[in-house]
Amino acid sequence: MSRTPPNLLTATQEALEAVRSTSPLVQCITNSVVVGFTANALLAVGAAPAMVDVPDEASMFAGVASGLLINLGTCREEQRAAALEAAPAAIAAGTPWVLDPVAVGVLPVRTPLAHHLRDLGPSIVRGNASEILALAELGAGGRGVDSTSSVNDAITAAQLVARVTGGAVAVSGATDLVTDGVSVVRLSNGHPVLTKMTGGGCALGALMAAFAAVTPDSLTAAVTATSVYTVAADLAAERSALPGSFAVALLDALSEVSVDDLAARAVFA
């Protein structure tokens, strides 16, 4: 598919309808701080969440799930073991999987784990600019989970990681960027209040796993998930731009965002 804005819009609309009609089963090995919000975001958009992060079960479930998210936000020993068995199982089963390398950089446990998982070839990597720079071994990470670099700073790193993985890399920021190592797509929706609530990026990673389940091309899956999520954020911000009520409004907007909303609001470049 030619990745022109009209074609990306059509792909996004079709993917949204596919997620809602098929309800892909998304396994989440994720940040314990945001488990509830992540599950609710998946349900709102039309997918089915499964928070299966127990060793010996994680690999079994990865073989039957439609998509897998591995998020390193709370990198407990049990979750690390589950991630290390689920990723190869997903690969063996042909299950698309997303790596969200939260807060990688100088931290001595999650950083080597993230590099190992990177080298297994996730379908999509999603992170902020500092995380992507660190995953590419071109930076030391940000300020905890917050980026200290801009999306433009991370373009080369994102392309490098995409070439290593053979998939797509999504860099979240004021203007989001998605690349497969060659093509670069920028998306200009979303709202600043997303940075004032816990779990905004983590939920987006889960949605990428859901959209990857219905969209074979990794770059298109990452673009479609980002577009649906950020257009929903635009709609939610019109109801409330305060962090607490915005989080609720975002779930409502994810359940209501339509193909017409995408046509009217989605901005690709």
* CB-CB contact of 254 with 232 (8 Å): yes
The one-letter amino acid code at 26 reads V
19: helix, strand or coil: helix
Q: 197 a known binding residue?
A: no
CATH architecture of 5-265: 3-Layer(aba) Sandwich (3.40)
* CB-CB contact of 140 with 164 (8 Å): no
Residue ranges of domains in the chain: 5-265
pLDDT in the model for residue 154: 92
pLDDT in the model for residue 190: 87
Q: 51 a known binding residue?
A: yes
The sheet carrying 25-29 orders its strands as 48-50, 25-29, 67-71, 97-100, 124-128, 168-172, 176-179, 184-187
Residue 141 to residue 96: CA distance in whole angstroms = 26
pLDDT in the model for residue 3: 80
Residue 221 to residue 67: CA distance in whole angstroms = 12
For the question of whether the overall pTM of this predicted structure is more than 0.85, the answer is: yes
Q: Going residue by residue through the chain, which has 269 residues, state the pLDDT in tens, using 9 for 90 and above.
A: 678 888 999 999 999 999 999 999 999 999 999 999 999 999 999 999 999 999 999 999 999 999 999 999 998 999 999 999 999 999 999 999 999 999 898 789 999 999 999 999 999 999 999 999 999 988 655 544 445 578 998 999 999 999 999 999 999 998 999 999 999 999 999 889 998 888 899 999 999 999 999 999 999 999 999 999 999 999 999 999 899 999 999 999 999 999 999 999 999 98
User: From the CB of residue 23, how many other CB atoms can be counted at a distance below 10 Å?
Assistant: 17
φ, ψ of residue 56 in degrees (nearest 5):
80, -25
Q: 199 a known binding residue?
A: yes
Q: 59 a known binding residue?
A: no
Residue 194 to residue 234: CA distance in whole angstroms = 10
Task: Write the secondary structure of 45-99 as one string of H (helix), E (strand) and C (coil).
Answer: HCCEEECCCCCCCHHHHHCCCCEEEEECCCCCHHHHHHHHHHHHHHHHHCCCEEE
32: helix, strand or coil: helix
